Amino acid sequence: MASVFEWQPNRFLQDHRGSQPFALLVLNQPLKNGSNLRKLWRNSALRVAADGGANRLHELSSFQGKFSNLQVIIGDLDSLRPQVHDFYTSQHNPAQVIHDTDQETTDFGKAIAWIRKTQPTGTDIIALGGIGGRIDQGLSQLHHLYLFQSDPAYADGRVYLLSGSSLTFLLKAGTHRIQVKEDGEEEVFGKHVGIIPLQEPSRITTKGLEWDVTDWETRMGGRVSTSNHVLPETKVVEVQTTKDVLFTIALRTIDGEEDG
The rounded percent of the chain whose pLDDT value lies above 90 is 70
What is the assigned CATH class of domain 166-260? Answer: alpha beta
One fold for both 11-164 and 166-260?
Answer: yes
pLDDT given at position 64: 55
Please say if the pLDDT value at position 18 is more than 70. no
pLDDT given at position 252: 85
Please say if the pLDDT value at position 257 is more than 80. no
Distance CA 229, CA 250 (A): 10
pLDDT given at position 260: 42
Distance CA 237, CA 63 (A): 36
pTM value surpassing 0.85: yes
Please say if the pLDDT value at position 32 is more than 80. no
Please say if the pLDDT value at position 78 is more than 70. yes
Long-range CB contacts (within 8 A, 24+) of 216-220 = 218/245, 220/196
pLDDT given at position 19: 60
- Is the domain defined by 11-164 classed in CATH 3.40.50.10240? yes
Domain boundary assignment for the chain:
11-164, 166-260
- Residue, of 187 and 177, whose pLDDT is higher: 177
The rounded percent of the chain whose pLDDT value lies above 70 is 91
117 C-beta neighbours (distance < 10 Å), count? 7
Confidence of residue 17 (pLDDT cuts 50, 70, 90): low
CA-derived radius of gyration, the chain = 18
